[in-house]
Chains A and B, each alone.
Chain A
Amino acid sequence: MYKYSEIDKKIVANRVKQFKNQVDRRLSGKLTEDEFKPLRLMNGLYLQLHAYMLRVAIPYGELSSKQLRQLAFIADKYDRGYGHFTTRQNIQFNWPKLPDVPEILEELSKVEMHAIQTSGNCIRNISADHLAGLTIEEIEDPRPWCEIIRKWSTFHPEFSFLPRKFKIAVTGCSEDRAAILVHDIGLRLIKDKGDIGFEVFVGGGQGRSPYIAKKIKNFLPKKDLLNYLEAILTTYNQLGRRDNIYKARIKILLNELGIEKFKEFVEENFKRFSNKKLILDKSTIKNIFKFFKLPSLKPGLEKVPEIKNSLFLEWKNQNVLPHKHPNYSIILVSLKSNEKPPGDASSIQMRKLADIADKYSFGEIRVTHEQNLVLPHVENSRVYEIWNELLNINLATPNIGLITDTICCPGMDYCALATARSIPISQKITDHFKNYSHQKEIGDLKIKISGCINACGHHHVGNIGILGLDRKGKEFYQITLGGSAKENASIGQIVGPSFSEKDLMGAIEKIIKVYKKNKIYEKEDFLSVFKRIGIKKFKEKLYDNN
C-alpha cells in the first residue's frame, strides 16, 4: 500500500491549515457563502438537505485497517456513527458540523487521508479495479498507475478549474470491474508484442447525456502516460464548453468535434508536450510499484474446506473468489443487507472489520465501485472462521452480484438535487427478493438506482436501471433495460412510461418473469437474454393490462 512521502504529508497538512483559516473567515463573516462555496467544495464539503456532507477520498479504493478505524472514530466523534461508501470508491459523512470539518481533516491527515479534489471541476479520485493485483488474468496491477496519476493530478495548476469535473478509472484486466467505459478517461493495461502499455478510452459518462467512451489510442507506452493525459486534459481545458454546465463534460466535446478531430487535437498537444519532464523513467515507475507488492503469502490449503453449513456454503459460493495465490481467497463483503441503506457501514462494523482485516487479510481492505468492501488476501483454511466473524456484525449477506446487490445514490433523502428517493426503493427490492434461493435462481443481475438525471446511482448502466422522477409532486420511476458498465458496456433502453412508487415492484417482478421465461439455458444471465430477445417482450408484459 502506498505510504505518503514528506511532500504528500506537507501538502495535506498545508491544506488542512488553509481550510481552517477559510472556515474561520466564513464563520466570522469575512467570507460570504458565495465566496466560501467553491472553497468548501474543493475540500469535498457539500451542503445537502439536512446537513453538511463531507466526501473523503479513498484513492483507488484501497484502505488500511488503521484508516478504517480512523473513519470509524470520525463517524462516532463528528457524525452519527456511520459512513456511506460511494460509487467512486470514496466515503461520505452525512452530518458533520462546519466548525468541526478542519479538525476532521486533521484527523484524516494522521492516517494519510484527505478530502482534496473529491468535488469541484478538477480531476477527481482515481478509481480502479477493486481486485487489482489479485487475479491471474491481470496484465499488470493498475494501482501503481493510479498513484502515478494521483500525484500528477493533485493540485495540477492548469487542471484545477476545468470546464467540469473529470473522472479517470484504470483496470489491468480484460474483464472490466472499474467501469472504465463510463469515465471521462478509461485506461486499460494491455500487452502488445510483449510490451505492456495502455488502451486509452475517452468521453464516457452518465448524467443527462450518457455516452460509452471511445477508444482514441490502441497502445500507449507506459513512459508516455502522463504526457498523453496532459494532452487530453489540455485539449479539454482549451475547447470544452464553459457556457453551459450541461454541455461542459468532455463527452460532449468529443461528440461535437467527432473522434477523428478530437484525436488530432490530442495528438498535436501530445507532440508539443512530449518533454522529458513528464516522461516516466523506469526507476520512477519501479519506486511506485514497490508500494504495491503482495504481502508475504504462505503455503496452505489449495481449496476452501467444504464445511457442512448451508448458510456458509451459500455465502462462500457467492462472496468468495479465487486469489492468484492458490492458497488464498478474496472475500467480498456485502454492504447490501436488509438493515441498512446500500453502501452504509456503522462505526461498529468499520472497527470490527478493521480488526478482521488485521487478523486475516494483512490489514488491507478495498472499496468497490458497487458499494461493497473486499478483504483481499485470506488463507483458504480461515474462510469459515472469517465468515463467522462477519456474520456476527451482519456483514455476511450472500448476495454479491445478485438482484439485491443494488447500486443506489443517496436520493432525495439526502441530496438537494434529487427529484425522488432511491434508498427506500433499494430497500423495497431487498425486502421483496429476500429469499436467497429466488435470488440465485434469477442469477447475475445489476439493478442501479438514481434519484435524478445526474445518474449518481449509475442507472444508465444497470441491467435494470431505475431513475426517480418528479411528476407533479409525486415520485415516479422510469425503467431502463440492458445497460452494462462492464467490458461490454452499454446504455440501457427506456422501456416506456414511468411507474408510480406503488407499481414499481410489480413492474420489476414482470421483468424478471419475462427474463426467466425466455432463458434458454439455466445459467443464461439477464443481459444475455435481453440482448437476444430485445426490449419488445418486456414492454408487452409491462404495459399489457390484461
Chain B
Amino acid sequence: MINIANMAKKLEGHTFLLSANDLKTGKVLFYTSNGWLPELNKAIKIEKKSIEKYEKLLKIDEENCLIVSGRFVELNDSGSIKNLRDKIRSSGLTFKI
C-alpha cells in the first residue's frame, strides 16, 4: 500500500490496482472501467509504466471530492493482492461482529 504522496518511485511491484476511500462514506473503492466501484474483481490492473497517468486521475478525483486516501495496491505474480493489510482492506474484517 503506497500513499499518493510517495507514489511511483517507491512502488516495487509490476502490477497494481488503484484504490481509495469514498470521501463521504469512507468505503473502500477500486478504479474500474466504470469509475470508482467497491467491487475488487472489476478493478483495472495497472502496469507500472502507466502509473503516472493514474496518479493524475487520482489527483483530479481527489480534487473533485469523490475520493480520499488514494493508493496503489500491489499485486503478486499470480494477480492477487500481495500484502495482508490490502487484503483485509479489500475483503473486510477477518472476524464476525
Contact = CB atoms under 8 A, between A and B. Distances in A.
Is B truly associated with A? yes
Interface of A: 26-29, 32-33, 47-52, 80, 82, 95, 97-99, 340-341, 344, 412-414, 416, 418, 420-421, 423-424, 427, 470, 473-475
B25 interface: yes
B64 interface: yes
A47 B65 contact: no
B85 interface: yes
Given A33-B68, A50-B92, A80-B97, A97 B83 contact: no
A218 to B, nearest CB: 47
17 contacts: A26-B23, A29-B63, A33-B69, A47-B69, A48-B26, A50-B27, A51-B21, A52-B26, A80-B97, A97-B25, A98-B26, A412-B84, A414-B93, A418-B85, A423-B94, A424-B95, A473-B84
- In this complex, the member of B62, B63, B83, B84 whose beta carbon has the largest number of chain A beta carbons within 10 angstroms is B84
Nearest to B86: A49
B21 A47 contact: yes
Interface in B1-53: 21, 23-28
Contacts of B94: 413, 421, 423-424
Interface string B80-92: 0011110011001
Contacts of B92: 50
B65 A27 contact: yes
A26 B63 CA distance: 10
Interface in B57-82: 62-65, 68-69, 82
B93 A29 contact: no
A340 B68 CA distance: 30
B23 A98 contact: yes
A247 B8 CA distance: 29
A348 to B, nearest CB: 13
B83 A47 contact: no
User: 3 tightest CB-CB pairs across the interface, nearest first?
Assistant: A51-B26, A52-B26, A29-B65
B50 to A, nearest CB: 24
- In this complex, the member of A32, A49, A341, A418 whose beta carbon has the largest number of chain B beta carbons within 10 angstroms is A49
A385 to B, nearest CB: 30
Given A82-B97, A341-B95, 15 more contacts: A33-B62, A47-B21, A49-B89, A50-B26, A97-B25, A98-B23, A98-B25, A99-B24, A412-B84, A413-B93, A414-B93, A416-B85, A421-B88, A473-B83, A474-B84
B97 A340 contact: yes
Contacts of B62: 33
A234 B96 CA distance: 46
Contact of B65 (A28, A97, A344, A423): A28
B87 to A, nearest CB: 10
A78 to B, nearest CB: 12
A27 B68 CA distance: 11
A51 B84 CA distance: 17
A51 B25 contact: yes
A99 B26 CA distance: 11
A125 to B, nearest CB: 23
Contact of B95 (A28, A50, A423, A474): A423
Contacts of B85: 49, 412, 416, 418
Interface of B: 21, 23-28, 62-65, 68-69, 82-85, 88-89, 92-95, 97
Contacts of B63: 29, 32
A422 to B, nearest CB: 11
B30 to A, nearest CB: 13
Contacts of A424: 94-95
A26 to B, nearest CB: 8
A356 B27 CA distance: 36
Given A47-B69, A49-B89, A341-B97, A97 B84 contact: no
Given A50-B26, A98-B25, A29 B97 contact: no
B74 to A, nearest CB: 10
B95 A413 contact: yes
Contacts of B23: 26-27, 98
A98 B68 CA distance: 12
Contacts of A50: 26-28, 89, 92-93
Contact of B97 (A28, A344, A474): A344
Nearest to B67: A33
Contacts of B93: 50, 413-414
B90 to A, nearest CB: 9
Contacts of B97: 80, 82, 340-341, 344
- In this complex, the member of B25, B64, B65, B85 whose beta carbon has the largest number of chain A beta carbons within 10 angstroms is B85
Nearest to A36: B68
A473 B95 contact: no
A536 to B, nearest CB: 34
Nearest to B85: A412
Nearest to B69: A47
Contacts of B82: 473
Contacts of B65: 26-29
A29 B61 CA distance: 11
Given A29-B63, A473-B83, A427 B95 contact: yes
A48 B26 CA distance: 8
A301 B88 CA distance: 53
A97 B95 contact: no
Contacts of B95: 341, 413, 423-424, 427
A420 B95 CA distance: 14
Contact of B88 (A26, A97, A340, A413): A413
Given A28-B65, A97-B24, A470 B88 contact: no
B26 A475 contact: no
